[in-house]
Structure 1
Amino acid sequence: MRKWVIILTSVFIVVVLGAAGYAAYIYQSVKTTAHQIYESRDTVQPKPVSKEGITTPTTAATGTVNTAQSSSTLTTDQTQPFNLDEKKPFTVLVLGVDQRENDRGRSDAMIFLTVNPAKQSILMFNIPRDTRTEIVGHGTVDKINHAYAFGGVNMSVKTVERFLDYPVNYYIKVNMEGFAHLIDSMGGVEVDNPFSFYYEGHQFDQGDLNLNGEEALLYSRMRYDDPRGDMGRNTRQRQILKQVIKNSLKINNVVKIESLLADVGNSVKTDITFDDMKTFLTDYRSDLKQIDQVEISGEGQRIKGIWYYLVSDKERSRIHQMIKDHLQL
């Protein structure tokens, strides 16, 4: 009898030590990956906005930009480095980047998130890629997705902050091709497709679909056969990201965590530190139960032969207030 007790005790010790060792390995892997994907932001020095394309400081409805109102009014407190404290709400800019050989590429998707654990919710909206606005640090007025081509993450963040008149606490840059592998590692995503369409060799039927990474990428890119054009594509992009967030919040299997690490390390850059990642997992994850989606309204217009999406000052103020309201404790 005593022999069996010794054997069982020994097995128990081996299992516990093995589990502890494996947990330590996972922790170290996550920490290593967190350091690998971390990339801080630099300050972008503004340049005077070019007068080209701007005649008078009127509203966007006329195809011009009101430079008086587009100047950032962020307070000193809002522009200070952000630290998580007692489940403090925060903002995230997600940049889906279509990288090219020998070229920085452009941001194929710009999705802004506000996260408020006190309200147990996330607010999500796209910034349409053709939105005409001041490109902070470049001295021009252009499509907002061109900010990344001109100045990378730093210029994109500053331009979005100016456009929304609200600070970006964190950014996450995702390579679109790598994003497909990330979705595969999660077991795919489920979406409710409002209409049937065919795109680049793939048929997407109407109704509930379970998409792998490649399919999800194609599903989120189609726009020319969508009755709503780019706005329809934005909706599908939010669908995919919403499901990825939901799947991420549910992950507690170490095998899945391991499989995700390589994909994240190869396709993601962010200024979220390892300590903040731990805080998200331990203090935030269980409180986020709802993801609400909104849309920025505007109108398309061709200016000097180029197609833009024009957002009025009134609409910018509405979105700004919506962000502010959602982040209130």
Structure 2
Amino acid sequence: MATIKARKSQNSGNQNSDKRRTKGSPKFKVFVFFLILALISGGIGAALAFFMSSKPFQQRALNSAEAGTFNSDIASATLGLPALTRPVNVLVLGTIVLSSDLPGAADLPKPEYLAQTSSSLDGQSDAMILVHLDPVTQKVTALSIPRDSRVEIPGYGVQKINAANYVGGAVLSAKTVSKLAGDVTIDRYVRVNVEGFGQLIDALGGIEIYVPKRMKYQDDSQHLYINLNQGQQLLDGTKAIQYMRYRHDELGDIGRVQRQQAFFRALIAQKLKLETITRIPDILTVIKQNLDTNMSVQELLAIAAFVSKVDRKDTKLMMVPGRFSTPSEYPLSYWIVDDHKLARLMQEHFNVTYSNPELAKDDQQEFSPPNLRVAVQDTTYYPDRIKVATKALIRAGYAQTFADSERPPVILEKTQIIAQDGNLNSAEQVRNALGVGEVVLESTGVLDSDVTVRLGKDWLDVSKRILKAEEVKPK
């Protein structure tokens, strides 16, 4: 095993080296839900027949000290059916290892030396999600952690969080995430590599999704070729990989996180169906080859049974709040975590109590209408309607409301009020001020906003009434 110094050198070298390592690397943040899909109700018998060991997906047994990082007893069998016994936090790590990073790579002939993905699970975790499963509230909450988040990795100093798996595996990753997120308890981990991602999408029959823009990129050094047209389409395994790996726009990795949340929404809508049951054998085969987890069969089945019953509206998708670093701050590009917003988010959605009194301060002033940044987007192709909405919110006290020029590609029937930073109360207040719409908890809105409003067809009638009232108002 390489020395600590060598590990750190590989993970925090100069800026050019960092770009070569991470350029175009995939982050498959929805893999945990692919795992769950493989064990949907109706496939339980097939799963039990297929795997007989208690932890069939674990690649390496943990020693007693490592096992102590995680809690025990998250599920039990009631009348023979596994079920979660309490709220559970699962850390999902999507790893990637390039063949050019493997020992002896420089000695290989050039075609083999060119970077390709390896089936190893010991690389950097370019996907990190903390998933909260709550059988009491019947909700699923997924918190995406940007791979470039600048954090303290226990024993290795300040680095990008994706280095934790490379230097210390799932155990160190769990300790790092726990420390970042207010000492949140991590109950289980799931590590997956990208080797079988395309196979899994094919096993699921593909995913239908709207590709929001023309995606074209080529990197011969990594054998990465992306060529997707804009529009609604069925993505097979190869095209899904291209969609998930694309990050060459103004938001870079954060834009990719947002697209992957949209991918997950499409997955939930399409694949939690009875037709998936017939694909169980193929799905299990792919998962077996590309996954490592300390969950037992009973726990996997308990999670599968729970998720299959959760309503789509009770699935929350969030991202660790923060900002991009500036070139004057650090030689490398980082995601600088907003500790205060993260602490509030963890308390509201993960039942984590504030440990720092400063972070527990009252948010009433910060999230009052005058201080809230509200972005308004239009999906209806009526330019004057966005002006009406912006003015209406400003009149309601939201002084920092602004119109965003980006037009979402799909016309919405119902207006969406997106709680960009996870603050549901603020989003509800904005919805009440508009009088229409539904609140959505995810991070697919305007990055520089607390709440993003996407105007749908239901806003047209409301805006007509407002315009008519203004016409008859005495001068």
Quick check: TM above 0.5?
yes
Q: Distance in 2 between matches of 1:257 and 1:79?
A: 29
Q: Is the 8 A contact 1:117 1:288 kept in 2?
A: no
The superposition leaves residues 143-165 of structure 1 with CA deviations (integer Å, 9 ceiling, x where unpaired) of: 00011111111111110111112
Query: What displacement does 1:312 show?
Result: 2.5
Q: Which residue is equivalent to 1:112?
A: 130
Q: Distance in 2 between matches of 1:274 and 1:227?
A: 43
Q: Which residue is equivalent to 1:280?
A: 303
Q: CA RMSD in A?
A: 3.2
Further displaced range: 118-127 or 26-35: 26-35
Instruction: Give percent identity, aligned residues only.
Output: 27
Q: Which residue is equivalent to 1:265?
A: 288
Q: Is the 8 A contact 2:92 2:128 kept in 1?
A: yes
Q: Which residue is equivalent to 1:296?
A: 320
Structure 1 residues 272 and 248: alpha-carbon distance in aligned structure 2, compared to 1, 3 A threshold: farther
Give SS of 2:72's match: coil
Q: Is the 8 A contact 1:120 1:289 kept in 2?
A: no
Q: Which residue is equivalent to 1:164?
A: 181
Extract unaligned runs of 5+ from structure 2: 1-42, 77-82, 104-121, 219-224, 353-475
Structure 1 residues 133 and 107: alpha-carbon distance in aligned structure 2, compared to 1, 3 A threshold: same
Residue 95 of structure 2: which of 94, 97, 100 is its match?
97
Q: Which residue is equivalent to 2:13?
A: none
Output the amino acid matched with 1:153. A
Structure 1 residues 245 and 145: alpha-carbon distance in aligned structure 2, compared to 1, 3 A threshold: farther
Residue 161 of structure 2: which of 144, 148, 162 is its match?
144
Further displaced range: 303-312 or 82-91: 82-91
Query: What displacement does 1:32 show?
Result: 5.4
Output the amino acid matched with 1:144. I
Q: Within 5 Å, which residues of 2 pair with 1:125-274?
A: 125-136=143-154, 138-165=155-182, 166-200=184-218, 201-224=225-248, 226-244=249-267, 249-250=272-273, 255-274=278-297
Q: Distance in 2 between matches of 1:33 and 1:260?
A: 19
Q: Is the 8 A contact 1:298 1:311 kept in 2?
A: yes
- Size of the aligned set, in residue pairs, is 273
Structure 1 residues 325 and 206: alpha-carbon distance in aligned structure 2, compared to 1, 3 A threshold: farther
Structure scoring higher RCO (CA < 8 A, sep ≥ 6) equals: 1
Further displaced range: 311-320 or 284-293: 284-293
Q: Which residue is equivalent to 1:29?
A: 50
Query: What displacement does 1:304 show?
Result: 4.3
Q: Distance in 1 between matches of 2:176 and 2:92?
A: 14
Query: Comparing both structures, which one devotes a greater share of its residues to helix?
Result: 1
Query: What displacement does 1:122 show?
Result: 1.6
TM-score, normalisation: structure 1: 0.72
Give SS of 1:35's match: coil
Q: Distance in 1 between matches of 2:285 and 2:201?
A: 13
Give SS of 1:142's match: strand
Query: What displacement does 1:126 show?
Result: 1.3
Give SS of 2:319's match: coil
Q: Is the 8 A contact 2:48 2:297 kept in 1?
A: no
Q: Distance in 1 between matches of 2:217 and 2:274?
A: 31
Query: What displacement does 1:193 show?
Result: 2.7
Residue 323 of structure 1: which of 340, 349, 358 is its match?
349
Output the amino acid matched with 1:91. N
Structure 1 residues 278 and 204: alpha-carbon distance in aligned structure 2, compared to 1, 3 A threshold: same
Q: Distance in 2 between matches of 1:24 and 1:127?
A: 35
The superposition leaves residues 234-257 of structure 1 with CA deviations (integer Å, 9 ceiling, x where unpaired) of: 112333344455666435655411
Extract unaligned runs of 5+ from structure 1: 1-21, 46-75
Further displaced range: 295-304 or 164-173: 295-304
Give SS of 2:75's match: coil
Give SS of 1:307's match: coil
Query: What displacement does 1:277 show?
Result: 1.8
Q: Distance in 1 between matches of 2:58 and 2:291?
A: 6
Query: What displacement does 1:285 show?
Result: 2.3
Query: What displacement does 1:168 show?
Result: 1.7
Query: What displacement does 1:23 show?
Result: 9.2
Q: Is the 8 A contact 2:54 2:296 kept in 1?
A: no
Give SS of 2:174's match: helix
Q: Which residue is equivalent to 2:337?
A: 311
The superposition leaves residues 84-124 of structure 1 with CA deviations (integer Å, 9 ceiling, x where unpaired) of: 26642212221111023437321111122112244333222
